[in-house]
Every structure is written in structure tokens, then in C-alpha cells.
Amino acid sequence: MRVLVVTNLWPSAERPAVGGFVRDQVEALERIDGIEHIEVFRVEPGGGPTTYAKAARELRRRYRSERFDVVHAHYGLTAWTALAITGAPHVVTFHGTDLEHGVVGPMSRAVARLIDLPAPVSASLARARLPGAGTTRRAAILPVGVNLDRFQRRERQEARERLGLDPSGRYLLFPADPARPEKRHDRAAELARAANAELLTYGGVPPDHVPDLVNAANAVLVTSDREGFGLATLEALACDVPVLATPVGIAPLALREIEGTLCAPYELNRWLEAAGAHLESADPRVEGRRRAALLDRNRMAERVFMAYTEVVKAPL
């Protein structure tokens, strides 16, 4: 099977933190028997409609003589670009922001009606933003999955030393860029102040440092208003690091019955009590890796391959 992936979510020298999860999925797919070749076409992120129209013309020019069995777009706007390639079924993974955004959302929902297989990363996202998906029309739930090779338990003190942090410090981690309003950095900052802890964030942090940041923290705070999937929760669990999360995305399923975690609407006193126990411990850990392994990138890639196989069999 020959696959063309079209995406604006892919790490680059200018944006090294963008789209690592898409790259992880492509790498996992490349290891599957039955995948002959995957070609990746990158669209520069952040551009307006003209950017995607130009990308469509370049896509058509570059691959006019190529044959693909599946065209797989990541993110709603790139689905419009991917439609420049005909003769193969189209799959689109919707990651959340593309369906939720005030401007991009309607465009993403419109293209979902034109392609062969819309594939949100979570069932909750499908129910909220793609009514009828999986009932009146075909759809799939295709998460990208956690990279267990990258995210694994490391010695907390060693992680802190590599980051130049106080070995005996009190650290909470906000696993996102504070500039993203839906992630609610304000909540995490309020909790850190109340707990007399330092709040670490991903803002401006090189991707190579992220696994150390997770392991350096006493607990990870996922305070989001919404999550398409919520990969940060799984990355923390893969490191056996405690997680406090709002009940959005994958969190209710991922954290269910894991002692030392909290999945609840944000309320300062309740979250402060949960975080306090971890801040008082020298090396707080939870039994999370086995749960994270259920959504490993390799297992999720197998699901993607199965979706490819089914959509190829279906009549165009």
C-alpha cells in the first residue's frame, strides 16, 4: 500500500515542537507489513487560504504521475489541499482545534462531508463536532498514540539536574504553551501559587527536554477547557508521573481507577489537596505506564492501517 500524508503538523527547524505526534504515527506506520511506502507532503502552518491553495497546486504538480492507495490528511485545512489528489480514497484525522476554532471549524466540518473517512482523534470530539459520524455516515476514531520509547520513567533527581532545577524543589508542570487559551494556564498558575510550588511549562522548551520536564515534576496539571485527545495525560502516565486533569479528551478513560491521579472539573481546593500530597513526596509516582501502553503509537498505527484497508476496499 502506498500512502500520501498531507499535513501542516510536522516538526521543522523553525517549529520543532509542532506535530511530533504526526511524525510518530508515520514512523510507526512505516514499520507495518503491508505499507510499501509513505510520502509526506508538508504544508507550512499558520498561513491563510492562499497558502493552502498554493500547496494544492504544488501537490498536484509534484504527484501528477504518482499512484497512491490512500491520501491521509492531518488537520482540517490540509484536507482541502489533499483533495487536489484524485483517484484514491481520502482519510482526514481531525485533531481538535481544527473542529473547534471559530473560523477553521466550519471549514473543517464542511470538508468532512466531502472525504471518504473523517477520523477524529476521540469519540467525544466526534460527538461534539461531527454529528452523525459513525451512525448516518462512516467515520473512525484514530488517535495518534503515545511514544513509549520517548516517554518513560527517568530518575527524578537526574532529570532535575539536567534541567538545572533544584533537586529538592516543588515543581508542577503545565504541559502546554501558556499562550494557548484553551489550555487554561491561569488555572495552573493559581494552583501553583496556592501550593507554594514553581510552575514549569512547555513554552519555548526544546522537544528533547520535554521527557525530562515530565519526570522532574511532582505532578502534571492538565487544566484544559477542552482537548481533542489529550496526549499530555498519556505522556505523564507513561513516565509514572501523577496527573491532575479536567474531564476532557482521553482523561476520564486514561485516569480511571489509577491511584494518585485526579480527573475532575477544576476547583482550587480539591486540586490543591491532590497536588499537595505529591508535592510533599520526594519521588511521587503512580502506576500509569501500563494504561498508557493501551494507546501506544504502534497500536494506534495498526488501527490506522486497518482503517486504510477498509476504505480501500469500499467503493469510491
Backbone phi, psi, residue 307, to 5°: -65, -40
> pTM of the prediction?
0.92
Q: What is the pLDDT of residues 49-101, one digit of tens each?
A: 889 999 999 999 999 999 999 999 999 999 999 999 999 999 999 999 899 88
Question: C-alpha 299: how far from its chain's center?
Answer: 15
Backbone phi, psi, residue 72, to 5°: -120, 115
**Measured torsion, CA atoms of residues 190, 194, 195, 196, in degrees rounded to the nearest 10:** 100
C-alpha cell at 99: 473542529
C-alpha cell at 44: 507550512
Q: What pLDDT sits at residue 136?
A: 46
User: Taking 80 as the threshold, does the pLDDT of residue 116 lie above it?
Assistant: yes
C-alpha cell at 265: 472539573
Is there a common fold for 2-145+296-313 and 156-293? Answer: yes
What are the residues facing 120 on neighbouring strands? 94
Match 476532557 to its residue by C-alpha cell. 248
C-alpha cell at 66: 504518482
User: Taking 60 as the threshold, does the pLDDT of residue 8 lie above it?
Assistant: yes
How many residues are recorded in the chain? 316
Distance CA(186)–CA(209), nearest Å, equals: 23
Q: What pLDDT sits at residue 316?
A: 59
Domain layout of the chain by residue ranges? 2-145+296-313, 156-293
pLDDT bucket at 166, cuts 50 / 70 / 90:
very high
Distance CA(243)–CA(173), nearest Å, equals: 10
Q: What is the pLDDT of residues 264-295, one digit of tens each?
A: 999 999 999 999 999 999 899 999 999 999 99
At the fourth CATH level, the homologous superfamily of domain 156-293 is Glycogen Phosphorylase B; (3.40.50.2000)
User: Taking 80 as the threshold, does the pLDDT of residue 132 lie above it?
Assistant: no
Query: What percent of the chain stands above pLDDT 70?
Result: 97
Q: What pLDDT sits at residue 265?
A: 98
Please provide the distance, in angstroms rounded to a whole number, between the alpha carbons at the two ends of the chain: 17
Distance CA(198)–CA(293), nearest Å, equals: 30
Q: What is the pLDDT of residues 179-194, one digit of tens each?
A: 999 999 999 999 999 9
Q: What is the pLDDT of residues 195-240, one digit of tens each?
A: 999 999 998 889 999 999 999 999 999 999 999 999 999 999 999 9
Domain 2-145+296-313 has CATH 3.30.70.1710: no
Contacts of 303 (CB under 8 A, 6+ apart): 140, 142
